[in-house]
Structure 1
Amino acid sequence: MAISDWGAGEGPRDKLLQRGAQAVSDAELLAVLLRTGHRGSTALDLARELLGRFGGIRGVLAAPGQQMLDCPGMGESKVAQLQAAQELARRQVQEGLAEGDLMGNPQQTRLFLSHHLGGREREVFTCLFLDNQHRLLRCEDLFYGTLDGAAVYPREVAVRALQYRAAAVILAHNHPSGVAEPSSADRRITERLQDALGLLDIRVLDHIIVGRGQSYSFAERGLL
């Protein structure tokens, strides 16, 4: 059943419009995006199925596309709608980072990195390049694969930092396993990058590891 088939004032879309987005549940919000259900089930039923399968709204939005397509009632159109919602959220947070001091708002930085890296199926090494007021100049994914299996070259990070005239960087990568604790390889590459960029008078402000619903900050743990 499609949301358009609900009676006036009965469906989640009407509830959202009449009472505001904060008045509807996660399942109802998700149903508005999905619009239709499958085989006699409503969009709300499908939304509840997805939330249960992926462990909540964060899991749904971060789920790989193929896993979504394997769910009954989920086609390419619905998957694209959810991916678009996730990307809009990421870009909204990124715009905010470009306007302010990243080190003055670490929660916002972590939120952005969670959106940016949380749903990746393989490890991605990202750099946030900042100006001398710690405003975001550029976010760039530089290396892919595990830090042991895919080399992270300090020279490449330095070249990008000089290209963007960055005064500081925040390093970040994800752990697809979901565990945010740093490995020995994570610690080694952080030290190498800190030493290499320090020669250019470019500060490494933090290295953030994104796990499943959690993150780890080298700066907060006193490792920088």
Structure 2
Amino acid sequence: MSMAGWAFGEGPRDKLLERGASALSDGELLALLLNTGYRDCSALDMARNLLKEFDGISGLIRSDQSRLLACSGVGPAKYARLCAAMELARRQALQKASAADVLTSSSETRRFLQYHLGSHSAEVFTCLFLDSQHRVLRCEDLFFGTLDGAAVYPREVAIRALQYGAAAVIFAHNHPSGVAEPSSADRRITERLCSALSLLDIRVLDHIIVGCGREYSFAEQGLL
């Protein structure tokens, strides 16, 4: 059943218009994005089934394309709508982080990094390049790895920082396992990056590890 098939006042769309998006459950919001279900399964039932299959919204977001498309009723159109919604959220979070002082608005930076990195099934190493006022000049994914880690090269980071005229940087990468605690390799590469960039008078403000709905900050833990 599509959203149009709901009696007036009964469906998620009417509930959103009357009470606001925050009043809807994860299943109801997802049903609005799906718009239609499939035979003997309404959009809302389908949404609930997907959330159960992927253990909630975080698992759904982190799922890869092939697994999602293998689910009953999820075709290219529905998959595209889900991706578009996630990308809009990511861009909005980056815009807010870019407009803010990242030192006093770390929550916006973390929110963006969750949107940006939380959905990846393999490790991605991201750099936020900042000007002297700590505004975001550029966000760039520099290194891509497997579930076991990404190879990070300080020389490449330094080249990008000089190219963008960055005065400071924030590093971030995800742990697909969902655990945000740093590994010994994470600590070593952070030390190498800090040493390399200090020679160029570029400050490393933080290294943030993104897990499943949580983050680990090297700066907050006194490791920088």
Give the TM-score normalised by structure 2.
Answer: 0.95
Following superposition, the deviation at residue 37 of structure 1 comes to 0.9
**Which residues of 2 match residues 36-185 of structure 1 at below 5 A?**
36-145=36-145, 150-185=150-185
**Pairwise CA RMSD:** 1.5
Moved more, 19-28 or 113-122: 19-28
- Tell me how far apart the structure 1 counterparts of residues 85 and 19 of structure 2 sit (CA, whole Å): 21
Deviations 1:4-32 (A, max 9, x none): 11122221112212222122222111111
State the alpha-carbon separation in 2 of the partners of residues 207 and 147 from structure 1: 19
- Contact 2:125-2:150 at 8 Å conserved across structures: no
Aligned to 2:189: 189
CA contact 1:154–1:192 (8 Å) conserved in 2: yes
The one-character-per-residue Cα deviations of 1:144-201 (angstroms, maximum 9, x if unpaired) are 1159765311111011111111110000111112111111111111001000100110
Task: Provide structure 1 residue ranges, at least 5 long, that are not aligned to the other structure.
Answer: none
Deviations 1:101-152 (A, max 9, x none): 1121111111111111111121111100011111111000001115976531
Q: Within 1, Cα distance between the matches of 2:154 and 2:176?
A: 23
| Unaligned 5+ runs, structure 2 | none
Separation in structure 1 between the aligned mates of residue 114 and residue 82 of structure 2, nearest angstrom: 16
- The count of corresponding residues between Structure 1 and Structure 2 is 224
1:98–1:135 CA contact under 8 A, matched in 2:
yes
SS state at 2:103 partner:
helix
> In structure 2, the residue corresponding to 1:82 is in which secondary structure?
helix
**Partner AA of 1:7 in structure 2:** A
SS in 2 for 1:104: coil
Q: Secondary structure at the match of 2:133?
A: coil
Q: 8 Å contact 2:62–2:121 — kept in the other structure?
A: no
Distance 2:150 2:103 in 1: 29
Rounded to whole Å, the distance in 2 between the matches of 1:107 and 1:57 is 20
Who is 2:209 aligned against? 209
CA contact (8 A) 1:174 1:210 kept: yes
Q: Does 1:200 align with 2:208?
A: no
Alpha-carbon contact 2:58-2:212 (below 8 Å) kept: no
C-alpha distance in structure 1 between counterparts of 2:120 and 2:147, whole Å? 15
Q: Is the 8 A contact 1:147 1:185 kept in 2?
A: no
- Whether the 8 Å contact between 2:125 and 2:172 is mirrored in structure 1 is yes
Partner-residue secondary structure (3-state), 1:127: strand
Equivalent-residue separation in structure 2 for 1:171 and 1:68 (angstroms): 30
